[in-house]
Amino acid sequence: MLKQNFLFQTIQSIHISEKSNQSKINNVLVLKVNKHATKKEIKMSVQNMFQLKVKKVNLLNVKGKKKNKGKNIFFKKNWKKAYVFLQSDQNLDFLNSSQ
């Protein structure tokens, strides 16, 4: 069994972009996760933290971009993106939650 501390370290942030906002129709949650996290660990951490039922998880390694700052050239870090597909009856909506 995984340690509770590691489950909280797998998910770093929610990734917000134009593509991820369009994916709300399909019940897809896009997350920035730890580089060493596996699909099973991500699925368990989403189920424990957000209380959601996960159908499947797809992973994508994102290569860091090259940036120029004056004469200096540097590279941003590589990171891992997770597409978490939720079951049809599940929804995670931060902005439009009405009570």
CA 50 to chain centre: 12
CATH 3.40.50.980 fits 4-86, yes or no: no
The pTM (predicted TM-score) of the whole model is 0.79
**CA–CA dist 41, 43 (Å, integer):** 5
- DSSP class of residue 91 equals -
At 1-18, the pLDDT tens digits run 556 677 778 999 888 887
- Is 82 within 8 Å of 42 (Cβ atoms)? yes
Q: Where are the beta strands (DSSP E) in 1-99?
A: 11-14, 28-33, 54-62, 66-69, 72-75, 79-86
At 37-46, the pLDDT tens digits run 999 999 999 9
Q: What is the pLDDT of residue 24?
A: 58
Domain definitions of the chain by residue range: 4-86
What confidence tier does 31 reach under pLDDT thresholds 50, 70, 90? very high
